[in-house]
């Protein structure tokens, strides 16, 4: 593929709810441009952008895919973004490098929850937006109903540029409002034939066109004056003014189509070229240079600067890094430095990816998107710049994981291999988190939902040959005491030579919540020699870590050693360490031990209509609502509650079900509190059963 200047490049993310037809539209655009010679899924279930075995198995997009093509003297880099909530991390990456987001909306289902979520994020980062109203050929499809929904959800900036000709199965063309021309489609060629606007819709078309023109000219005083004087405004002038509104994210054009029938697809490609912003039309990228922030314009003659927005871990080819060139022109064998790791990287071969197919390119100028293989020390979110250029592009903001599972390798020999493989998958998917919980001794895999985590375990097996088993995440309960008690810890052991002898009298008493452990030495008269006192403390501390009466770590206790006995020959550090441990255990059992459970601070944002259901559900989880306030979106409420951590381990799944996917939440540990007495036996029994396995 040849090189294109920034003015002729369009970076377009296809976004929207799963099942709206984004991948079908990507396939249709590639076919209409001549980039591929077939349309739709082939016999093995693949498309150009859905080729992973997991995608074929499920029939949905699971990863961000790149698919460039040439159209009318332009290069259009399509970014096919998954539409399911579990893969929202790819939405963050796609919108970060796109200059235009085309929202694919089903004319049957209308505006769905992930469309709203993606719109909210696109508005937050200021990405220009268009809407392709898909599936107008299906039963129950309605242009008017969904257009009203779009305006209700996304405001008055939503402006139709086309009207459908024919309804449902009779849909066969579009009326272009800018040019006052009908475009009719016959067969499955994807090529439109210009025609007159059908007489039965001429009045409606004129009325909608007048509204559109008024909406466009209001942004330009000179055009507005001419329009008010009755002068006809040329389509090219309207188009140029509209393009400015699109680039400024104040106007959101709506076009019609049916991707699987190739209706309106060529028109979409033309509009992307005509009114879609190029990298030159977007604000310069803000980069950090030391303590300063500076702007970088997409100048092909400038200093080379590239941003890695996606990494694919391939066990055979190695690592493939997708990058967007922000400045300069990058050529094969260029040597750049990773400004985070300060490692030099040689870009041996430059190519672009069309799905999984590589296409070599002679260079990548500013504004373009491409890929390079085998960058040893570079991951997603890294910046590549000339050596000695201390600039860093802010990394992609990844969503916080909402669901965790514990995993362990089926084969003990795979433990080291598991962590290496997980870190490689993390390079590929920044929304994935891996950590070892030292308290529960579990490896925790955290992601955006059940499907996300299921895909990760499948890829571990397919890509790296590591089979894993999953188990429930253990809750890190703790123990403490509520009364004072004393006990004698006596360790006496006689062997063939020297024996072991140590006696320590231990008093325990509770401390305030969160105060931690305190050891007090009250020994007088040398009943325990000074050199053995630290051993008593160590024995107590180790016992607290390994578990008290119920087997959980002990916290917030003061332990005092106040008396003891020793033997001039048989006493040792070991004997007093054991004496301290035994005395502490016995004293704790007498001191009314209780279990503490972790309490999380939960913030749930939902549409107002779901507020009552969510609050009722939180009460059923032993939650204590702390307050409610208006959410960040229109008609939203944010509920803040303190909830036992054990009650919300799978809250992501439950909230999605409760709110139809429209709820979102954040959670963090807040404090520990007493576990109700009626639950203690249940928790202790579960602990015993787990320990017996």
The pLDDT of residue 317 is above 70: no
CA-based nearest residue to 425, from 263, 576, 586, 313: 313
> Residue by residue, what is the 3-state secondary structure of 499-524?
CEEEEEEEEEEECCCCCCCEEEECCC
CA-based nearest residue to 147, from 158, 137, 161, 136: 158
CA-based nearest residue to 571, from 501, 504, 523: 501
Neighbour count for residue 622 (Cβ, 10 Å)? 15
Pairing of strands 364-365, 329-330: antiparallel
What CA–CA distance (Å, rounded) separates 505 from 587?
Answer: 9
The pLDDT value recorded for residue 523 is 93
pLDDT in tens, 327-359: 999 999 899 999 998 999 999 889 998 888 889
CA-based nearest residue to 287, from 428, 375, 382, 369: 382
Q: Show me where the domains of the chain are located.
A: 6-281, 295-392, 407-422+432-471, 479-591, 596-689
Identify the DSSP state of 531. Answer: G
Domain at 407-422+432-471, CATH class = alpha beta
What CA–CA distance (Å, rounded) separates 434 from 421?
Answer: 11
What CA–CA distance (Å, rounded) separates 89 from 92?
Answer: 5
The pLDDT of residue 551 is above 80: yes
State how far the alpha carbon of 126 is from the alpha carbons of 99, 120, 129, in Å. Answer: 10, 10, 9
The pLDDT value recorded for residue 259 is 94
What CA–CA distance (Å, rounded) separates 558 from 565?
Answer: 21
What is the arithmetic mean of pLDDT over 184-203?
89
Neighbour count for residue 677 (Cβ, 10 Å)? 9
What CA–CA distance (Å, rounded) separates 477 from 611?
Answer: 30
Could you check whether 407-422+432-471 and 596-689 share the same CATH topology?
yes
Identify the DSSP state of 291. Answer: T
What is the arithmetic mean of pLDDT over 241-263?
93
The SS3 call for residue 100 is strand
State how far the alpha carbon of 278 is from the alpha carbons of 31, 101, 121, 295, 296, in Å. Answer: 23, 12, 20, 17, 15
Residues 571 and 529 sit within 8 Å (Cβ to Cβ):
yes
The pLDDT of residue 606 is above 90: yes
Residues 588 and 481 sit within 8 Å (Cβ to Cβ):
yes
Can you tell me which residue has the tokens 């984004």? 22
pLDDT grade for 315, boundaries at 50, 70 and 90: low
What CA–CA distance (Å, rounded) separates 223 from 219?
Answer: 8
Neighbour count for residue 535 (Cβ, 10 Å)? 22
The pLDDT of residue 103 is above 90: yes
Neighbour count for residue 175 (Cβ, 10 Å)? 27
What CA–CA distance (Å, rounded) separates 169 from 135?
Answer: 10
> Residue by residue, what is the 3-state secondary structure of 551-616?
CCCECCEEEEEEEEECCCCCCCHHHHHHHHHHHHHHHHHHCCEEEEEEEEEEEEEEEHHHHHHHHH
The pLDDT value recorded for residue 556 is 95
The pLDDT value recorded for residue 21 is 92
The pLDDT of residue 631 is above 60: yes
Of the given ranges (386-390, 518-522, 556-560), which has the lowest mean pLDDT? 386-390
Helix (H) or strand (E) holding 204: helix 202-217
What CA–CA distance (Å, rounded) separates 479 from 483?
Answer: 13
pLDDT grade for 628, boundaries at 50, 70 and 90: very high
The partner residues of 470 in beta bridges, in order of sequence, read 407
Can you tell me which residue has the tokens 């300063």? 292
pLDDT grade for 553, boundaries at 50, 70 and 90: very high
Residues 6+ apart with CB under 8 A from 5: 300, 365
End-to-end CA distance of the chain: 59
Residue 686 structure tokens: 């579960």
Helix 113-125 and helix 88-97: axis angle, to 10°? 40
Instruction: State the chain's mean pLDDT as an integer.
Output: 91
CA-based nearest residue to 276, from 665, 477, 14: 14
What CA–CA distance (Å, rounded) separates 129 from 13?
Answer: 10
Q: What is the CB-side half-sphere exposure of residue 499 using CA atoms within 13 A? A: 9
State how far the alpha carbon of 271 is from the alpha carbons of 240, 254, 262, in Å. Answer: 11, 11, 15
Residues 18 and 82 sit within 8 Å (Cβ to Cβ):
yes
What is the arithmetic mean of pLDDT over 563-588?
94
Identify the DSSP state of 263. Answer: B
Q: Residue 623: phi, psi to the nearest 5?
A: -80, 155
The SS3 call for residue 404 is strand
Residues 498 and 569 sit within 8 Å (Cβ to Cβ):
yes
User: How many percent of the chain have pLDDT more than 90?
Assistant: 66
Supply angle C-alpha 441, 444, 445, rounded to 5. Answer: 165
Residue 265 structure tokens: 């697809």
Q: What is the CATH number of domain 479-591?
A: 3.30.230.10
The pLDDT value recorded for residue 339 is 92
Q: Residue 346: phi, psi to the nearest 5?
A: -100, 125
Helix 265-275 and helix 235-247: axis angle, to 10°? 80
The SS3 call for residue 282 is coil
The pLDDT value recorded for residue 557 is 96
pLDDT in tens, 36-67: 887 766 656 678 788 887 888 888 888 899 99
For the segment(s) 596-689, the CATH number from 3.90.550.10, 1.20.1050.10, 3.30.70.240, 3.30.70.560 is 3.30.70.240
Of the given ranges (220-229, 515-524, 603-612, 642-651), which has the lowest mean pLDDT? 220-229
Identify the DSSP state of 258. Answer: B
The pLDDT of residue 693 is above 70: no
Domain at 295-392, CATH class = mainly beta
CA-based nearest residue to 56, from 16, 23, 25: 23
Residue 268 structure tokens: 């979409």
The partner residues of 417 in beta bridges, in order of sequence, read none
Residues 296/298/299/303 CA torsion (nearest 10 deg)? 50
What CA–CA distance (Å, rounded) separates 50 from 25?
Answer: 12
The pLDDT value recorded for residue 135 is 97
The pLDDT value recorded for residue 316 is 63
pLDDT grade for 493, boundaries at 50, 70 and 90: confident
What is the arithmetic mean of pLDDT over 460-487?
92
Supply angle C-alpha 454, 458, 461, rounded to 5. Answer: 145
The SS3 call for residue 223 is helix
What CA–CA distance (Å, rounded) separates 86 from 432?
Answer: 11
pLDDT in tens, 420-430: 888 888 888 88
The pLDDT of residue 231 is above 90: no
pLDDT in tens, 640-690: 999 999 999 999 999 999 999 999 999 999 999 999 989 998 998 888 877
The pLDDT of residue 210 is above 90: no
Whether the full predicted model's pTM is greater than 0.75, yes or no, is yes
The pLDDT value recorded for residue 601 is 96
What is the arithmetic mean of pLDDT over 91-101?
95
Of the given ranges (323-332, 349-358, 444-453, 530-539), which has the lowest mean pLDDT? 349-358
The pLDDT of residue 519 is above 70: yes
What CA–CA distance (Å, rounded) separates 484 from 509?
Answer: 4
The domain defined by 6-281 carries CATH number 3.20.20.60: no
The pLDDT of residue 498 is above 80: no
Instruction: Name the more confident of 349 and 512.
Output: 512
The pLDDT value recorded for residue 496 is 61
What CA–CA distance (Å, rounded) separates 521 from 562?
Answer: 7
Residues 404 and 649 sit within 8 Å (Cβ to Cβ):
yes
> Residue by residue, what is the 3-state secondary structure of 135-197?
CCCCCCCCHHHHHHHHHHHHCCCEEECEEEECCHHHCCEEEECCCCEEEEECCCCCCEEEECC
């Amino acid at each position: 593929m040849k090189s294109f200047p920034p003015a002729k490049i369009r970076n377009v993310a296809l976004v929207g709810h799963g099942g709206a037809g984004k991948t079908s539209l990507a396939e249709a655009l590639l076919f209409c441009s001549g980039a591929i010679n077939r349309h739709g899924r082939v016999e093995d279930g693949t498309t150009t952008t859905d080729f992973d075995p997991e995608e074929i198995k499920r029939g949905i997009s699971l990863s961000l895919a790149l698919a460039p093509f040439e159209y009318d003297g332009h290069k259009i880099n399509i970014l096919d973004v998954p539409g399911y909530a579990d893969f929202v991390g790819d939405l963050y990456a796609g919108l970060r490098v796109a200059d235009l987001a085309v929202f694919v909306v089903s004319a049957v289902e209308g505006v769905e929850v992930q469309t709203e979520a993606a719109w909210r994020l696109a508005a937050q980062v200021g990405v220009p937006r268009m809407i392709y109203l898909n599936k107008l050929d299906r039963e129950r499809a309605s242009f008017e109903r969904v257009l009203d929904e779009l305006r209700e959800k996304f405001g008055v900036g939503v402006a139709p540029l086309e009207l459908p000709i024919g309804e449902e199965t009779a849909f066969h063309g579009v009326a272009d409002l800018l040019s006052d021309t009908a475009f009719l489609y016959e067969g499955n060629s994807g090529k439109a034939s210009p025609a007159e606007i059908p007489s039965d819709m001429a009045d409606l078309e004129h009325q909608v066109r007048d509204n559109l023109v008024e909406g466009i000219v209001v942004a330009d005083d000179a055009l507005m004056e001419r329009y008010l004087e009755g002068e006809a405004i040329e389509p090219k002038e309207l188009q140029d003014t509209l393009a400015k509104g699109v680039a400024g994210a104040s106007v959101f054009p709506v076009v019609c189509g049916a991707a699987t029938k190739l209706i309106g697809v060529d028109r979409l490609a033309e509009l992307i070229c005509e009114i879609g912003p190029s990298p030159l039309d977007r604000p310069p990228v803000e980069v950090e240079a030391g303590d300063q922030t500076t702007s970088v314009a997409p100048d092909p003659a400038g200093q080379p600067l590239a941003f890695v927005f996606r990494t694919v871990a391939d066990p055979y080819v190695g690592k493939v890094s997708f990058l967007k060139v922000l400045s300069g022109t990058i050529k094969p064998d260029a040597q750049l430095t990773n400004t985070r790791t300060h490692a030099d990287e040689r870009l041996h071969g430059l190519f672009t990816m069309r799905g999984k197919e590589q296409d070599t390119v002679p260079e990548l100028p500013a504004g373009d998107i491409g890929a390079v293989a085998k960058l040893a020390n570079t991951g997603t979110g890294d910046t590549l710049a000339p050596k000695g250029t201390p600039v860093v592009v802010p990394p992609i903001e990844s969503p916080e994981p909402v669901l965790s599972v514990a995993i362990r390798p089926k084969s003990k020999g795979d433990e080291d291999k598991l962590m290496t493989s997980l870190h490689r998958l993390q390079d590929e998917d920044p929304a994935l988190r891996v950590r070892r919980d030292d308290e529960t001794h579990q490896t925790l895999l955290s992601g955006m939902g059940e499907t996300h985590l299921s895909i990760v375990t499948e890829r571990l097996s397919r890509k790296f040959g590591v089979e894993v088993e999953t188990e429930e995440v253990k809750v890190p309960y703790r123990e403490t005491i509520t009364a004072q008690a004393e006990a004698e810890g006596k360790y006496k052991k006689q062997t063939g030579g020297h024996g072991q002898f140590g006696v320590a009298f231990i008093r325990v008493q509770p401390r305030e919540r969160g105060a931690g452990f305190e050891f007090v030495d009250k020994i007088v008269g040398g009943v325990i020699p000074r050199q053995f006192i630290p051993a008593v403390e160590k024995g107590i501390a180790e016992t607290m870590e390994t578990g008290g009466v119920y087997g959980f770590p002990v916290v917030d206790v003061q332990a005092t050693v106040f008396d003891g006995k020793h033997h001039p020959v048989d006493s040792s550090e070991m004997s007093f360490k054991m004496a301290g441990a035994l005395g502490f255990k016995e004293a704790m059992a007498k001191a009314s031990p209780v279990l503490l459970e972790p309490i999380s601070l939960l913030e749930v944002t939902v549409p107002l209509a779901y507020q009552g259901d969510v609050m009722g559900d939180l009460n059923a989880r032993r939650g204590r609502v702390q307050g409610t306030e208006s959410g960040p979106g229109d008609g939203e409420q944010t509920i803040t509650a303190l909830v036992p951590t054990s009650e919300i381990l799978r809250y992501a799944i439950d909230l999605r079900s409760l709110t139809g996917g429209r709820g979102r939440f954040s959670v963090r540990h807040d404090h520990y509190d007493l576990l109700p007495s009626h639950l203690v036996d249940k928790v202790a029994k579960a602990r015993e059963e787990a320990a017996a396995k």
